[in-house]
Amino acid sequence: MYLKSEGVPQDFAKAPSWLEQAAGQGGMFACYCLARMYGAELGATRDAARRDFWRNMAARADIDE
């Protein structure tokens, strides 16, 4: 919701923590979004290791960038 401004003001600083909670509960689209955020430095510091981790998690569910 914070990433796309759905019902709340857009807030890239809050989005990663909520996405990580969703990913931890099996939300593969959240994994994809986290990979994009860590790769593009949107609300999260650019971090190749985290980007790759979340990209691999999303790939397990056949979600492509």
What pLDDT does 3 receive?
A: 75
Please name the helix (run of DSSP H) or strand (run of DSSP E) that holds residue 20, with its range, or none. Answer: helix 15-24
pTM (two decimals)? 0.74
Model confidence pLDDT, tens digit, residues 1-58: 777 778 888 877 888 888 899 988 888 889 988 998 888 877 677 889 999 999 898 8
Length of the chain, please? 65
- Residue 53 neighbours by CB under 8 Å, 6+ apart: none
